[in-house]
Amino acid sequence: MQDLLKELTSGDDVRAEAAIPALVDLGAEVIPSLLDLTQSTDVDSRWWAVRALAASPHARVDDLIPLLADSSPEVRAAVALALCNHPHESAVEALIHTLADEDQLTAGLAANALALIGSASVPSLLEVMGKAPTSIRILAMRALAEIRDHRAIPVMMKCLGEESAILEYWAQEGLTRLGLDMVYVKP
């Protein structure tokens, strides 16, 4: 295992990526070592540790959630992507918070993970729609559109005619995906 971990942290992306399937094949026994690597002072080592955790069916969502607060935007994005591979409702609140990440890639991946979690995300996403800045509301609306939950219809309807064309687009897209693709006229 130590040789594989050295390959993972070698600084050579090809060698690191090649080590991941063998690390995953080690099963749950490699998880503690990968979690130790997520605490490294080296950003690249943390990123590769998260990348390997994302590939492992033995990774626990509860171990990934705290990593959304990493100081590196690259690591935070990798964690959000890992949560797309391991969607679970226990990550909803952390992912909702991550919608406000200063790194747009990380925020977008958090929205993707929320969409993959599905209906368990809807109440928190609806709450975001009532109080967040437009950039965050756009991500939340995109997730709601992808989830296709009828609880979002009133919020989607309210967003029609908004000043943000992107927000209006995702509201219309959500209504279309729910089978409500008709012409809406405000009296």
Domains of the chain: 2-149 (1.25.10.10)
> Could you tell me the two tokens for 180?
């409500």
Our measurement of the distance from residue 128's CA atom to the centroid of its chain's CA atoms, rounded to an integer in Å, reads 16
The pLDDT of residue 162 is above 80: no
Q: Is the pLDDT of residue 70 over 80?
A: yes
Q: CA–CA separation, 50 vs 62, rounded Å?
A: 13
Please give the average per-residue pLDDT across 98-116, as a whole number: 98
> What's the pLDDT at 163?
83
71: left (phi over 0), alpha (psi -120 to 50) or beta: alpha
Q: What is the pLDDT of residues 39-56, one digit of tens each?
A: 999 999 999 999 999 999
Name the pLDDT band for 161 (thresholds 50, 70, 90): confident
Helix (H), strand (E) counts: the chain: 12, 0
**Whether residue 183 has pLDDT greater than 70:** no
Q: How far is it, in rounded angstroms, from Cα 97 to Cα 8? A: 30
Residue tagged 């590196």 (tokens): 72
Model confidence at 187, in pLDDT bands (50, 70, 90)?
low
pLDDT top residue among 187 and 103: 103
Percentage of the chain exceeding pLDDT 70: 97
Looking at the predicted structure, is the pLDDT value of residue 184 above 90?
Answer: no
Angle at 77 between CA 100 and CA 48, to 5 degrees: 155
Q: Taking 60 as the threshold, does the pLDDT of residue 150 lie above it?
A: yes
Q: What integer pLDDT is reported at residue 18 of this predicted model? A: 97
Contacts of 28 (CB under 8 A, 6+ apart): 58
Least confident of 48-62, 96-110, 149-163: 149-163
In the block, tokens 């368990």 appear at: 120
Spatial neighbors of 179 by CB under 8 A, at least 6 apart, are none
For all residues of the chain together, what is the average pLDDT?
A: 95
Residue 181 has pLDDT above 80, yes or no: no
Segments in 118-161 forming alpha helices (H): 122-131, 134-147, 153-159
Q: Give me the percent of the chain exceeding a pLDDT of 90.
A: 93
